[in-house]
Chain A
Amino acid sequence: MSGVRVLVGTRKGAFVLTSDGKRERWDVSGPHFGGWEIYHVKGSSVDPNRLYASQSSAWFGQMIQRSNDAGKTWEPVGNKFVYDGVPGTHQWYDGTPHPWEFKRVWHLEPSLSDPDTVYAGVEDAALFCSTDGGQTWEELSGLRGHGSGARWQPGAGGMGLHTIVLDPSNPERIFIAISAAGVFRSDDGGKTWRPMNRGLRSEHIPDPNAEVGHCVHRIAMHASRPSVLFMQKHWDVMRSDDAGESWQEVSGNLPTDFGFPIDVHAHEPETIYVVPIKSDAEHYPPDGKLRVYRSRTGGNEWEPLTKGLPQSDCYVNVLRDAMAVDTLDSCGVYFGTTGGQVYASADAGDNWSPIVRDLPAVLSVEVQTLP
């Protein structure tokens, strides 16, 4: 019988939530790596038992953990992330030059074709790749060195490379996003990169239409249409129909277009989900109501999804990597909150219920659909 495995990274460890295809009863395993920050856990689509986890601590730095048995056991692999060459400087919050310093891995993206190949998006922003199952890491330095790096600036949460999207139709094409620099695309497997931010407008930066400097929070793609991208920017929900060459705003009737995650329905490429947050100064839902908004038209027209979600006195946040979908016939949607709840909907968002309520603050949610 089919099932799902939800991989949850939190401020104090990782959790693995499993269920059968009904997604009603859940088994909770964890905490794995208790007490450590787990920014991200993700499984290989080629070998679902192969998981990678980013484990970090202000005291002890970065670890990468690998599992070959779906999270039952783990082994630490390589944690040496060294920038290629002389790292140079990016902008600090006050605009002054600041040296590149490795802090942590925000996002791990396993290759679509090889379980031993995995990409790591790190803070300070750079893209690394391992081809030996995480034992050794090399920077794809064409990104940081393509020319605009000196103008990148950290967002409030740091200058993280937080999104890595691999094009399933073209193994040479990779999209990444950085706060606060924007979207970049490579068409040669990560050797060279171009900014992909035309159409983005950010009022809080000196040139609102700048080539780089935009605080992109998340981008998402449907596998069947890799030239269509959706974006939750700091403010504004955007879409691109030309693989990032240009962007149009699709915030439409959202109560606020600030937020962090965005994701796409597994079977309906024009159905997308966001979680509106009141503002960048407040980081909680408007009116104390936790609402997922769904558009079935690829943006602009949005409906609130509230059944099973708290509609009063709710002041949690949903972080950028904390939403995911499964690929079962009735698409499941999942998200985690900074209040430690992981909510699941087995009917594409119509109805929600918590899988768990009292985890540490959730940093990331990924889902594996199991045969």
Chain B
Amino acid sequence: MIRVALPTHLRTLAQVQGEVKLNVEGRATQRSVLDALEAKYPMLRGTIRDHVTQKRRPFLRFFACEQDLSHELPDAPLPDEVASGSEPYLVVGAVAGG
């Protein structure tokens, strides 16, 4: 079970409270986790990754285990603590704006 922490607006959009828990088939990577997230919550498609390029939206960052994963390859394995569910995978909005 992989835990994903979403920013407030995406929790509201997906109508979830607290962390999202996902079953991910195979190796846990950023791509497989986000694919599973979007499959379970289709309204999140396009809000984290671009519909066509599948690239991270520019004002979002990805963190886990106190590491910035935003610029890691999407198919690189996530830390074991994320894969085991002991640590969450964090989708974080840039702290900016009014």
Contact = CB atoms under 8 A, between A and B. Distances in A.
A76 interface: yes
Given A80-B51, A82-B51, A82-B52, A59 B43 contact: no
Contacts of A36: 9
Nearest to A83: B52
Nearest to B92: A59
Interface in A51-65: 57-63
A354 B31 CA distance: 50
Contacts, number: 41
A36 B98 CA distance: 11
Interface residues of B, number: 19
Nearest to A77: B43
Contacts of A61: 46-47, 50, 57
A59 B7 contact: yes
A80 B97 contact: no
Interface string A59-89: 1111100000000000010011010000000
Interface residues of A, number: 13
B93 interface: yes
Contacts of B48: 60
A57 B47 CA distance: 9
Given A35-B9, A57-B9, A76 B43 contact: yes
B70 to A, nearest CB: 14
Contact of B94 (A35, A59, A62, A76): A59
Interface string B35-74: 0000000010111101110000101100000000000000
Nearest to A34: B12
B6 to A, nearest CB: 10
A245 B52 CA distance: 39
Contacts of B52: 82
Nearest to A76: B43
Contact of B93 (A59, A79, A80): A59
B97 A60 contact: no
B13 interface: yes
Contact of B45 (A35, A59, A79, A82): A79
B59 to A, nearest CB: 4
Contacts of B97: 58-59
A79 B10 CA distance: 14
A59 B60 contact: yes
Interface of B: 7-10, 13, 43, 45-48, 50-52, 57, 59-60, 93-94, 97
Closest 8 CB pairs of A and B: A60-B47, A76-B43, A59-B59, A59-B93, A80-B51, A79-B46, A61-B46, A58-B59
Given A58-B59, A76-B43, 12 more contacts: A57-B9, A59-B59, A60-B9, A60-B13, A60-B47, A60-B48, A60-B93, A61-B50, A61-B57, A79-B45, A80-B46, A80-B51
